Amino acid sequence: MSEATLHPRLEALLGYRDAVAADIDRPLLTTIIAIVALGLVMMASASVGVAEQAGGGSMHYLQRQLLFLVPAVAAFAIGLRLPLETLESLASPLLLFGLFLLVLVLIPGVGREANGAVRWIPLGPVNVQVSEVARLFLLIYFAAFLQRHGAVLRISARPLLPGLLVLGIAAVLLLAQPDFGALAVLVATIGGLFFIAGMPLLLFLGLAAVAGVAGALLIFSSPYRLERLTAFRDPWADPFDTGFQLTQSLIAVGRGEWFGVGLGNSVQKLFYLPEAHTDFLFAVLAEELGLVGMTVVIALYAFLVWRACRIGGASLRAGRHFGGLLAYGIGIGLGLQAFVNMGVNLGLLPTKGLTLPLMSYGGSSLVMSAAALGLLMRVDLERRRAGRSASARPPRRPA
């Protein structure tokens, strides 16, 4: 390759990077990095006991999480560089692929079972949790779906039928794993998108009531879900069996008081608190960093959700409906998952198998959350560029 050919390409690449650096939402990027960094520190502390028991050394899970961070950064970069027009055109193929994964994991011999649930597909040394992939792809599909049918939805319920059919298929496949927590977050997120897209209030309230009744029936028809609900109401009635997880979590939170017992000094993570490095990481954080640390984490997630909703609102006002709905969906989904995880750790909600996004141990959650946040920043990037180019155009001369 000649020098004359190389220089323009190099200048174009540097110019693209400068443009991205100028348009990127730096407060949002700083918040994401802060959450991930704090998650690595807390996950390393919370996983010491279980890592030594597994025979991989005290930093075994931290090393694996750092390896997961490499594809997560790559997924974030892909999401940041992927044009929304291309993503919208891929919405239907991504939906089909997500549903295919949900079917594939249920095939005997393909899916991996753990704690009575079949949610993972083993790929060599890693296990892919298919619900994390499917939830993002479903969100992309429904953002594109409402971009096409949103105007009709404001005056007619006709577009609801294909959307509810797709959501129903996904719900059946998620319940077959079973993964009730992921289904609840997905339904709430998609419901939020329908409301933002302009669904009539009475119709929205009616569908919300139907979803609530269906959720209650699912809880009362399943012995283990009902057991979790009764344990949540009074965990101290059986603190060594059905209420064990919640009581140990509450003990961890109570020990933290204002400023915590100190980083690395948690007692509950030493085989008292189950899943300390995944589902109950927030309880370990509360024990070691206290109320102050909890407040910082809650503030970081609150800022992330607020920023996502702000990006979504600005995109909708600019007429960029697909990007706006996608940004709202990402913010609602991540915010709901974080809220449910923290609520479970604090005894405000029944126990669910949902991790704290970007902080808990797990490659699938980390990679897909990073991809979603990359798309969120792409929405903001395109909206800013479109606004700048529109303001740079000369005003039209009157006829």
Per-residue pLDDT band for 396 (boundaries 50, 70, 90) equals low
Query: Average pLDDT of 74-90?
Result: 94
The mean pLDDT value for 107-129 works out to 83
Separation of alpha carbons 138 and 126, rounded Å: 23
d(Cα 169, Cα 160) in Å, to the nearest integer? Answer: 14
Confidence band for 2, pLDDT divided at 50, 70 and 90:
very low
On the 0-12 / 13-18 / 19+ scale of CB atoms within 10 A, 102 is buried
Residues 6+ away with beta carbon under 8 Å from 347: 232, 235, 246, 249, 250, 253
Q: Above 80 in pLDDT, residue 381?
A: yes
What is the structure's pLDDT at 398? 55
Phi, psi at residue 276, to the nearest 5°?
Answer: -65, -30
Of the candidates 161, 165, 177, 168, the one whose C-alpha atom is nearest the C-alpha of residue 101 is 177
Task: List pLDDT tens digits, range 132-181.
Answer: 999 999 999 999 999 988 788 887 777 788 888 999 999 999 988 888 88
User: 140 with 130: CB under 8 angstroms?
Assistant: no
* Whether residue 14 has pLDDT greater than 60: no
> Which pLDDT score, from 0 to 100, does residue 243 have?
78
Residue 203 binned pLDDT confidence (cut-offs 50, 70, 90): confident
Stretch 228-252: mean pLDDT: 80
DSSP reduced 3-state for 112: strand
Note the pLDDT of residue 395.
56
C-alpha closest to that of 364 among 176, 101, 175: 101
Summarised one tens digit per residue, pLDDT across range 16-34 is: 455 566 678 899 999 999 9
What is the overall mean pLDDT for the chain? 86
Q: Mean pLDDT over residues 267-272, rounded?
A: 84
Predicted local distance difference test score (pLDDT) of residue 52 = 81
Q: Which of 231-235, 271-275, 389-393 has the highest mean pLDDT?
A: 271-275
**Is residue 53 over pLDDT 50?**
yes
b (16+ CB within 10 A) / e for 227-262? ebeebbeebeeebeebbbbbbbbbbbbebbeeebbe
Nearest-Å Rg of the Cα atoms of the chain is 23
Give the DSSP letter of residue 111: S
Instruction: State the sign of the Cα–Cα–Cα–Cα dihedral 90, 91, 96, 100.
Output: positive
Q: What is the pLDDT of residue 306?
A: 96
Distance of CA 167 to the CA centre of its chain: 18
Reply yes or no on whether the pLDDT at 120 is more than 80: yes
Confidence of residue 393 (pLDDT cuts 50, 70, 90): low
pLDDT tens digits along 60-73: 888 999 999 999 99
Give pLDDT, residue 277: 86
pLDDT at position 201 is 87
Using the predicted structure, report yes or no on whether residue 392 has a pLDDT greater than 80.
no
> So what's the pLDDT on residue 4?
46
Angle at 87 between CA 81 and CA 91, to 5 degrees: 155
Report d(CA 58, CA 47) in Å as an integer: 7
The mean pLDDT value for 36-64 works out to 86
Range 342-360 average pLDDT: 87
- What tokens does 262 get? 């100190």
What residues contact residue 49 under an 8 Å CB cut-off, 6+ apart?
269, 270, 271, 276
Q: Residue 61 to residues 163, 267, 273: CA-CA distances in angstroms?
A: 40, 19, 17
Question: pTM score, two decimals?
Answer: 0.90
b/e map of 142-154 (b: 16 or more CB within 10 Å)? Answer: bbbbbbebbeebe
Contact 46, 266 (CB under 8 A): yes
Identify each DSSP E strand in the chain by its residue range.
112-114, 117-123, 126-129
